[in-house]
């Protein structure tokens, strides 16, 4: 179970309404029972259920069962698309161990406002279901040009460019190159010529083909993370 409170030996963890409903209504847990909790910072803890009421509940941490497992320093930056597909991208990025998820508004991005809190809740659910101890932060949506204006070149960009479709994928030249990375995936309409030209001028950006076909943005995000992990581990 994901909780927001700090976790530590003997630490009380009051439950909110949604957690009470889930634990006692859906999962049929009751006082005296035990469960595993994490908050994305303090590892995973065994907690006992001290109070299980209709409107409230209280857990108490007993012992740490796993240390925090930080994933490698990989960000997934993607142009938001339709709601369900954007949800899919966030869920898969959290499952696959992205450290940060950044919605970027590119020139051809059509989607409207990004609901950051809803996406963050998807990231939490994904971390819960895959037994992770870490939850990636979903950042506020940012314009690609502004993001690149203040880009720290120490973080390399795996720029997935649909214009490179059909080329052999460009991962060999990033193999073994540890350090912070960010994957960049474009919207349905792909990147504009000026975005492409700008990224190609950046020393820290590495243009990558994802193979012989143009993939949907959500497929591309999963494929890119898989290829990155294969080249750089974890
Ligand atoms: N029209 C489709 C859609 O509606 O989803 C295709 C979208 S594709 C243009 C979206 C993004 O996926 C691209 O901007 C790029 O980042 C990535 N992508 C898809 N296929 C790719 C490929 N073969 N090589 C590199 N990147 C690719």
Q: How large is the average pLDDT for residues 168-182?
A: 71
Residue 183 Cβ < 6 Å to ligand 1: no
Taking the CA atoms of 185, 187, 188 and 191 in sequence, report the sign of the dihedral they define.
negative
> How large is the angle between the packed helices 217-232 and 83-95, nearest 10 degrees?
10
pLDDT tens digits for range 19-42: 999 999 999 999 999 999 999 999
Average pLDDT, the chain: 93
The pLDDT assigned to 168 comes to 73
| Ligand 1 atom with the shortest distance to the CA of 212 | 23
Ligand 1 center from residue 188 Cα (angstroms)? 7
Ligand 1 center from residue 210 Cα (angstroms)? 8
Q: Do the strands 74-78 and 100-105 form a parallel or antiparallel pair, or are they unpaired?
A: parallel
Q: Give buried/exposed letters for 164-198 (b at 16+ CB in 10 A, else e).
A: beeeebbbeebeeeeeebbbbbbbeebbeeebbee
Residue 210 Cβ < 6 Å to ligand 1: yes
Q: For residue 72, what are its two tokens?
A: 């490698």
The pLDDT assigned to 173 comes to 62
Confidence check: pLDDT of 194 > 70: yes
Helix, strand, coil abundance in the chain, percent, nearest 5: 30, 25, 45
Residue 185 Cβ < 6 Å to ligand 1: yes
Residue 163 Cβ < 6 Å to ligand 1: no
Probe target for ligand 1 pocket from 166, 215, 216, 223, with the most ligand atoms within 8 Å of CB: 215
The predicted model scores a pTM of 0.92
* Closest listed residue to residue 48, CA positions, set 30, 21, 66, 65: 30
The pLDDT assigned to 79 comes to 98
Ligand 1 center from residue 191 Cα (angstroms)? 9
Residue 162 Cβ < 6 Å to ligand 1: yes
Confidence check: pLDDT of 172 > 60: no
**HEC profile for 124-188?**
HHHHHHCCCCCCCEECCCEEHHHHHHCCCCCCEEEEECHHHCCCCCCHHHHCCCCCCEEEEECCC
Residue 164 Cβ < 6 Å to ligand 1: yes
Per-residue pLDDT band for 174 (boundaries 50, 70, 90) equals low
The pLDDT assigned to 8 comes to 97
Q: Do the strands 137-138 and 156-160 form a parallel or antiparallel pair, or are they unpaired?
A: unpaired
Q: How large is the average pLDDT for residues 2-29?
A: 94
Atom 6 (ligand 1) nearest CA:
216
Q: What 3-state DSSP class applies to 52? A: strand
Probe target for ligand 1 pocket from 79, 144, 183, 186, with the most ligand atoms within 8 Å of CB: 186
Distance, CA of 130 to CA of 113 (rounded, Å)? 28
Q: How large is the average pLDDT for residues 124-151?
A: 96
Distance, CA of 206 to CA of 181 (rounded, Å)? 10
Confidence check: pLDDT of 217 > 70: yes
Residue 85 Cβ < 6 Å to ligand 1: no
Bridge partner residues of 2 (DSSP): 38
The pLDDT assigned to 169 comes to 67
pLDDT tens digits for range 36-84: 999 999 999 999 999 998 889 999 999 999 999 999 999 999 999 999 9
Percent of the residues in the chain that have a pLDDT greater than 90, as a whole number: 86
Residue 165 Cβ < 6 Å to ligand 1: yes
Q: What 3-state DSSP class applies to 106? A: coil
Atom 5 (ligand 1) nearest CA:
216
């Amino acid at each position: 179970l994901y909780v927001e409170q700090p976790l530590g030996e003997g630490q009380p963890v009051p439950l909110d309404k949604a957690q009470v409903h889930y634990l006692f209504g859906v999962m049929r847990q009751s006082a005296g029972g035990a469960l595993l909790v994490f908050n994305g910072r303090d590892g995973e803890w065994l907690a006992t259920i001290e109070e299980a009421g209709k409107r409230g509940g209280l857990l108490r941490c007993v012992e740490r069962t796993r240390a925090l497992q930080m994933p490698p320093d990989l960000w997934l930056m993607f142009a938001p698309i339709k709601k369900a597909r954007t949800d899919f991208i966030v869920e898969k990025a959290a499952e696959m161990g992205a450290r940060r998820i950044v919605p970027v508004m590119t020139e051809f991005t059509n989607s409207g406002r990004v609901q950051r809190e809803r996406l963050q809740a998807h990231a939490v659910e994904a971390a819960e279901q895959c037994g992770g101890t870490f939850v990636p932060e979903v950042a506020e949506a940012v314009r690609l040009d502004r993001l690149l204006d203040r880009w720290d070149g120490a973080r390399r960009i795996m720029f997935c460019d649909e214009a490179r479709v059909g080329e052999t994928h460009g991962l060999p030249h990033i193999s073994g190159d540890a350090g912070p990375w960010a994957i960049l995936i474009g919207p349905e309409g792909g990147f504009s010529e000026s975005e492409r030209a700008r990224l190609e001028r950046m020393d820290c950006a590495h243009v990558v083909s994802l193979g012989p076909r143009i993939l949907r943005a959500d497929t591309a995000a999963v494929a890119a993370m898989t290829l990155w992990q294969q080249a750089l581990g974890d």
